[in-house]
Amino acid sequence: MDTFTEWLRQQMRQRRLNYRQLARRSGLTTSRIRLAVEQDVTPSAFVVRRLAKFFGADPWHPLMLAAEQVAAGVTVAQTAEARLFVCVLYLMSGAQNRFWIHELEALAREEEACTQRAAAC
């Protein structure tokens, strides 16, 4: 199992739950569950914790899977340090995460532009 999405699918399969049943029992919306399962949209750390609690799982495993899934989707997180930074941001969770990820992407673009300018000279 490599991603949070796979973990969630497995948990649902083991308990024979559909989206609507899981949503109703966990207190989440059906659309949030559907996005996570069908479109690999990683939910917030709050939602992951809620699902882990519902399934009776240790929250750290699904949280780390979700954090790694988010880091894999950030195009500028190419180094181990950058991926770790994104994972930490995800685990801290909150509205400011997107701000820091955008900042990281902007810094990477700026660094790439500087490198290209230097190579042109």
What pTM was computed for the model? 0.70
Query: Which among 14-23, 35-44, 99-108 has the top mean pLDDT?
Result: 14-23
Could you report the per-residue pLDDT of 27-84, keeping only the tens digit for each?
999 999 999 899 878 888 888 889 999 999 988 899 888 888 887 877 766 777 777 7
Q: What is the longest distance spanned by two Cα atoms in the chain?
A: 62
Exposed / middle / buried, residue 119 (Cβ in 10 Å: 0-12, 13-18, 19+):
exposed
